Amino acid sequence: MLLAVDVGNTDTVFGLYEAGVWEHIWRVNSLAQESESHYASKLMLHFLEAGISFIEVKTVVLSSVVPALTPVIQKMLRSLFGDETIVVGPNTFPGLTIAIDHPHELGADLIANAVAVITRYKQNCVVVDFGTALTFTTVSRNGEILGVAILPGLVTAVKALFANTAQLPEVPLKLPVSAIGKNTVQSIQAGILLGYEGLVKSLITRIREEMGGDCIAVATGGLSSIIETLRDEFVEIDRKLTLDGLRIIGEKVGGKVKN
């Protein structure tokens, strides 16, 4: 059994993989002020409810984009599973080249996404990750991460608007029927969701042009299905893509856990 841990800015995701399927996926809030015992108790409860023993886990892979939480989660995993957690970084996966100026600045989740699409498609690909940040990671068929575009995610944009404007309410992320909002909620939905629809299409088009027109697109992230009108832009929408990349890294690198 393999445990993949993806520490994001909003949530930390734990995925248990065995016999070709993700048996369990759990989410907890990413809280930098909490200790390893807080996360250990959360994970222990999930394992207990699922009837799974820690000793059944043979490989642990960790991706983190929250530097303050990385050592906390590492310490928690070490206490529960042993010393050999695979921590994803720019040199973790054999055959992956990171062709950017400062490879250590690249988020581990984006590395995992790249590993997943390289393994699955073996084509030029842009991975659009709809998370706290909206990222576009361009990967070549030869296994190179060529670069990334980053902007605020949908929820981040809505919260920023809400926090900085006294009269605007926080609104649900629901695609409006019209770009001409008839009330405040519809106006924000039109601006954010339809605006992001155009933004995503425009960036994918620009990236494809720079790749000579030969580039597929794959979507992932918790909000990847929100803008339904974008579905035709992608060959696949896979919310488990990051976990699957971590799984592939774990299987390739090995890393038997000492119990």
Q: Residues annotated as binding site for K(+)?
A: 129
* Catalytic residue chosen out of the listed positions 83, 101, 109, 232: 109
Closest to 177 in 3D by CA, of 169, 168, 167, 189? 189
Please report, in range form, the residues annotated as the binding site for ATP. Answer: 6-13, 132
Please report, in range form, the residues annotated as the binding site. Answer: 6-13, 107-110, 129, 132, 184
Burial of 194 (0-12, 13-18, 19+ CB in 10 A): middle
**Overall residue count recorded for the chain in this entry:** 259
How many helices and strands in the chain, by DSSP H and E?
A: 7, 11
Strand ranges (E), the chain:
2-7, 11-18, 21-29, 59-64, 86-87, 97-98, 125-130, 133-139, 144-152, 216-220, 236-237
Is 238 a known active-site residue?
no
Rounded distance, CA 186 to CA 139, Å? 36
Q: Which residues are catalytic?
A: 109
